[in-house]
Amino acid sequence: MSPALQGLITIAVGVGGCLSYFYFSNLFLDKVLFPARGPNAGRNINRANMIRPWLFLAPALIALGLYLAYPVVETMRLSLTERIPGGGYRWVGLDNYRQMFREAKFWEAMRNNMLWLIVVPAASTAFGLLVAQLTDRIRWGSFAKSLIFMPMAISFVGAAVIFKLVYDTRPIEQQQIGILNALWLQFDGGAGSWALLKAIPSLILAGFAALSGFVGWLVLRPVIAGRFHSFGTPARIVATAASAALVVLSLRGIVELVGADFNYGAPQTWLTVPFWNSLFLMVVLIWIQTGFAMVILSAALRGIPEETIEAAIVDGAGPFQIFFQIKVPQIMGTIVVVWTTITLVVLKVFDIVFAMTNGQWETQVLANYMFDKLFRANNWGVGSASAMIIMLLVTPILVWNVYNARKEMR
């Protein structure tokens, strides 16, 4: 049987099965279980209407329980046990967690994940907001948005392969196919090299530090002024701490750039340089997620009432004041949602690291560490323990998103 025919049969069976389930379940509910006839017709109709939503939700709830709840419980069980060579498992309690906490690779993964959490959501959200604001002011903005959103259609592995070619390194006597090395070899240490490799990046980092500090101040200002919700205070403090960390990282990058002694004239193996190789990996995810942030934030900017902007212009506000003091505060809820959504993606990042460095050269992250323990070291206990750590890190952000969603619905 051809794959195309198999696909058509699968679609027919799947769609037909869903339609049949809803039709016959309603028929059984209304005709057999609670028939709308006799002296209890009214009570039966009410009962049927109470049960009907759960009847429709039952397949989804069963699937979620089977593919989400059960794996969580089983992973927790595995993290507290140890595989016996002859088969079976032995209860070891928290020994797997103790072993994991003693490994340097785990703390390397934790450190890198924290670095990813600081840089990627902030950069993706900032670039997405910037692009959303700028593209709404030009005639060909829709075309520009399409180009920027296009990376969202590429898988993480596909994007990693593309950027691996960008970072590719070949011997000096061969022609470089990696764009980054081809550009790098054009520098010889003169004034142009100083301007492009030190002055301009330092100015960009300084601007990013100033922007991060200003955003942190906007987030923290309601707390200082006493205009805040008790539940939102921790989130604002965390966001301010993240902004402060971005400022520190940016200033540290400026100091390192100014004092750096570049190896001109020789191709660089970019993915083997500690710390910077992690940033090169982050660029891939920022490239993908900027399009997502742009689309959501562009819709939020379009939803701002024109009256508030016109009133600010009449009062003499400049473009920067309108953007930072009128627009940004009104869409702060959307910015937080975009930030936290990208944060969830970052906590689970695996494909990019696996395809580009496989966790070597100090680029290990938690998901790749978990994969190594489960499928390379065949250590199911420690691998499951690291999976539980990832789940614990993701849970507060999920709770925060659900809380905000329910608050907006009310």
The pLDDT of residue 227 is: 59
**pLDDT tens-digit series, residues 187-222:** 776 777 777 777 887 888 888 788 778 878 877 777
φ and ψ of 220, to 5 deg = -85, -20
Whether residue 189 contacts residue 262, with contact meaning beta carbons closer than 8 Å, is answered with yes
Q: For residue 358, is it left (φ>0), alpha (ψ between -120 and 50) or beta?
A: left
Query: Please, which pLDDT band fits residue 410 given cuts at 50, 70 and 90?
Result: low
% of the chain residues with pLDDT over 70: 96
**pLDDT tens-digit series, residues 152-187:** 888 888 899 899 888 888 887 778 788 888 887 777
Query: Class for domain 103-409, per CATH?
Result: mainly alpha
Strands 81-83 and 89-91 come out as antiparallel
The upper half-sphere exposure of residue 136, i.e. CA atoms within 13 Å in the direction of its Cβ, equals: 16
How far, in Å, CA of 10 to CA of 396, rounded?
Answer: 38
pLDDT of 107 higher than 80: yes
Q: Three-state SS string across 177-200, please?
A: CCHHHHHHCCCCCCHHHHHHHHHH
Whether residue 322 contacts residue 309, with contact meaning beta carbons closer than 8 Å, is answered with yes
Strand, coil or helix: what is 124? helix
Whether residue 170 contacts residue 268, with contact meaning beta carbons closer than 8 Å, is answered with no
Query: Please, which pLDDT band fits residue 308 given cuts at 50, 70 and 90?
Result: confident
% of the chain residues with pLDDT over 90: 2
pLDDT of 7 higher than 80: yes
Average per-residue pLDDT for the chain: 82
- 300 Cβ contact list (under 8 Å, min separation 6): 331, 334, 335
How far, in Å, CA of 128 to CA of 334, rounded?
Answer: 12
Query: Please, which pLDDT band fits residue 138 given cuts at 50, 70 and 90?
Result: confident
pLDDT of 388 higher than 70: yes
Cβ atoms within 10 Å of 3's Cβ, excluding its own? 7
**pLDDT tens-digit series, residues 360-377:** 888 889 889 898 888 888
Domain boundaries defined on the chain = 3-63, 103-409
Average pLDDT over residues 221-232: 64
The pLDDT of residue 286 is: 92
**pLDDT tens-digit series, residues 258-271:** 777 777 777 878 88
Whether residue 73 contacts residue 81, with contact meaning beta carbons closer than 8 Å, is answered with no
How far, in Å, CA of 208 to CA of 279, rounded?
Answer: 15
Whether residue 301 contacts residue 327, with contact meaning beta carbons closer than 8 Å, is answered with yes
Whether residue 262 contacts residue 197, with contact meaning beta carbons closer than 8 Å, is answered with yes
φ and ψ of 91, to 5 deg = -70, 125
The pLDDT of residue 33 is: 79
DSSP 8-class letter at 343: H
Buried b (16+ CB within 10 A) or exposed e, 8-30: eeeeeeeeeeeeeeeeebeeebe
Average pLDDT over residues 81-110: 84
Q: Judge residue 55's burial from the number of C-beta atoms within 10 Å of its C-beta, 0-12 exposed, 13-18 middle, 19 or more buried.
A: middle
pLDDT of 228 higher than 70: no
The pLDDT of residue 284 is: 92
Q: Three-state SS string across 288-327, please?
A: HHHHHHHHHHHHHHHCCCHHHHHHHHHCCCCHHHHHHHHH
Average pLDDT over residues 112-134: 87
pLDDT of 229 higher than 80: no
The pLDDT of residue 287 is: 92
90 forms bridges with which residues in the sheet?
Answer: 82
